[in-house]
Every structure is written in C-alpha cells, then in structure tokens.
Amino acid sequence: MLDLQRLRALHAVSVHGSVGAAASALGFTPSAVSQQIAKLERETRTVLLEREGRGVRLSPEAHQLVAAAGELLAIVERAETELEQRRGKPAGRLTIAAFASAARGLLPGVLADLAVRHPALDARLSEVDPHLSVGMVAKGAVDMSVVHDWDIAPLPLPPGVEQAVIGEDQCTLLVPQGHPFAGQDSVRREDLGGERWVCQPPGRVCHEWLVRTLRTAGHEPEIVHQADENPTLVALVAAGLGICLIPRLGRGPLPAGVVEVALDPTPVRRLYAMWRTTAAQRPAIAETVRTLQEHWLRAARPSHQAARTPCAD
C-alpha cells in the first residue's frame, strides 16, 4: 500500500525542482522529505531520485508515480472540498503563493483578517514570482496564487484553473529631486528617450514592459543598474543614478530626494487570484478572494490620490 504523504513528498520535489524547495513548500525539513522518499523507494523497490551534480532528478519510474500522485491528490482535494462545503465554513490548510509586492503590501492584512474571522482556517503564504506560481496552482503545489499581468504581457490561464480580478495597480515614474521631470505633473512616454534607467533584471514582467514600451515609443532603453527588490531600485534613484518605473502596491514611503511623477498614459497592472477548478467550491477559496478584494480597496485608495508626490518621509 503506497503512503499518500510519501507520494505527496515526491510530487512536491517534481513540482518545485529540488528537495529543499519541496520541503519549504510542505513546511518540512529537507531531511524529512528525503526520509519520506527513501521509505517510498524501499516500499516500491525502485530508485526514484538520482544524483545530478549538486541536485537530484527524478527517474522514469518516479515520473510515473508523480502522475499517479497528482491524480490521488486531486481526489483528496475534491473530498476535502466536499467536506468543507457541508460545514459551510472556511477550514483546513490553504496555501497561497503571491508575488513580492503583494506579499508585502496586501497579504499581511488579508492573512491577519482571515485568522481572526476564521480560526479553523490555516492560511499559509509563500513569496513566488507570478510566472512560477500559476504553474504551481495548476500542478497542485499551492491552493491559490496572487499574480499580476500587464496589458502587453497577459498571463495565460492553464486548463483547470479559474481566476478572479482583485484590482488594478497603477505604476508611476520615480526620478531624483532636481531632475527635469520632477517639476512636471506628468510625462509622456515619447519624452523618455535618452534617460538612464534602473530596473528589474530581464525575465521579470516590469523589465519586459519597460523595454517593449520604450521601443514602441521609438527609444532604446539604457538600463544602467538592475536589482530584484523595489527598495533597492528606489535607493538607486535617490542616489541620482537613474529613473525607474515602479507599481505603487507594497512600495512603501519614498525617501527624501525622490519625486513621483505620473506617466501619460498611466501604466496599469491587473492583480488576480487563481485557484484550481476542483477546489472552486471550497468556502476557504471564496472567503479568501472576497477578503483580498476588500483589502485591495483599502490598500489602493490612499496611494492613488496623488499624481505627483515629493517624498520627504
């Protein structure tokens, strides 16, 4: 008899790509995950993980087990959903993946609210890039993801996954105090040529949006500094090393010496919640989506009032 928890551990390694990442997603230690898979290997008398450099890869037999594990976990999910439906209240564990600025600027309040309203619900957060978290939802690695896309780079919706709009996040231009743009109410995209930019690395949605938008406006962007975290980008602008485009969600107060200027037309990214169709009837899903939308109205309203804000705090 195959143990479901051991199959879950193997499935997580397949989804996340390593024992360490699987352990983090499951809330275990890497050694605990390795032990689960070692027991599964003994039970099946099959080598499931093979060494590859410093990591591991799944054997062909392991891939067969992973496919079966996915089907079994889907059956378990449906059973849990039906039980939760009968109770009529959010309950059980709900794993959520969210991109960085949502994890910082939106999810803390949402999770705290859910904990107070629904003590039987155990909601857990992981910070994950949107392009990865969509696949994690589809594969059953997490129950829900909070993602974003831009008008020129929509996120595909995989089969068996549903979504709801949370809201729209505006993006603004940040420039050093004393920059020619700092005294303007707004700047047109056509006027951005010849600027030195600080931006996220290639492969990130913000980077791709900046490059494609400026090229469409007839400019080749000169990206002089790259950083993953928004606070680092803001610090580079404050030092007078370039300008940047940053969404407002989760950005936090801007330091002295940085001025926010509206870009015309205003870039907007849309936020979504995504979950598997098999779990769509879970009260936990519906309540979490509702709470996300409710908190978005609170998070978005104050930050969208001003088009240009000299930053002194």
What is the structure's pLDDT at 305?
38
- In 3D, which of 258, 60, 64 has the Cα closest to residue 175? 258
Instruction: Report how many domains make up the chain.
Output: 3
Residue 192 structural domain: 168-268
Do 137 and 152 reside in the same domain of the chain? yes
pLDDT digits (tens, 9 = 90+) for 260-303: 999 999 888 899 999 999 888 899 999 999 999 999 988 765 44
Q: What is the mean pLDDT of residues 88-104?
A: 90
Of 47, 72, 97, the position where a domain reaches its end is 72
Q: How far is CA 156 from CA 40, 159, 161, 204, 260, in A?
A: 35, 10, 10, 16, 32
| Domain annotation covers residue 27 | yes
Task: Judge whether residue 208 has pLDDT over 60.
Answer: yes
| Domain annotation covers residue 22 | yes
pLDDT digits (tens, 9 = 90+) for 220-231: 989 999 998 889
SS3 110: helix
Task: Judge whether residue 38 has pLDDT over 60.
Answer: yes
pLDDT band at residue 313, thresholds of 50, 70 and 90? very low
What is the structure's pLDDT at 281?
87
pLDDT band at residue 173, thresholds of 50, 70 and 90? very high
Do 236 and 182 reside in the same domain of the chain? yes
- In 3D, which of 147, 144, 164 has the Cα closest to residue 94? 144
DSSP 166-213: EEEEEEEEEEETTSGGGG-SEEEGGG-TT-EEEEPPTTSHHHHHHHHH
Q: How far is CA 160 from CA 50, 74, 131, 239, in A?
A: 31, 11, 17, 47
pTM of the prediction?
A: 0.74
Strand partners, 57: 50
| Domain annotation covers residue 189 | yes
What is the structure's pLDDT at 182?
94
What is the structure's pLDDT at 140?
82
What is the structure's pLDDT at 310?
31
Residues whose CB is less than 8 angstroms from the CB of residue 189 and which lie 6 or more positions away in sequence, other chains included: 213, 214, 216, 217, 263, 264, 265
Task: Judge whether residue 85 has pLDDT over 90.
Answer: no
Task: Judge whether residue 172 has pLDDT over 50.
Answer: yes
* CATH code for the domain in which residue 143 is found: 3.40.190.10
Please tell me the least confidently modeled range out of 70-84, 101-115, 158-172: 70-84
**What angle, rounded to 10 degrees, do the helices at 4-16 and 19-26 form?**
120
- Higher local confidence (pLDDT), 112 or 11: 112
What is the structure's pLDDT at 307?
35
Do 161 and 173 reside in the same domain of the chain? no
| Domain annotation covers residue 77 | no
What is the structure's pLDDT at 301?
59
Q: Which tokens is 3 given?
A: 């143990």
- Higher local confidence (pLDDT), 289 or 3: 289
pLDDT digits (tens, 9 = 90+) for 227-257: 988 899 999 999 999 999 998 898 888 999 9
Mean pLDDT of the chain: 87
Task: Judge whether residue 1 has pLDDT over 80.
Answer: no
Do 274 and 263 reside in the same domain of the chain? no
For the beta carbon of residue 137, count every other beta carbon within 10 angstroms: 26
Do 143 and 11 reside in the same domain of the chain? no
Distance (Å, whole) CA 12 – CA 42: 19
Q: Would you say 140 and 11 are in contact if contact means Cβ atoms under 8 Å apart?
A: yes
* CATH code for the domain in which residue 44 is found: 1.10.10.10
Q: How much of the chain exceeds pLDDT 90, in percent?
A: 41
Task: Judge whether residue 304 has pLDDT over 50.
Answer: no
**Phi and psi angles of residue 197, each rounded to the nearest 5 degrees, phi first:** -110, 145
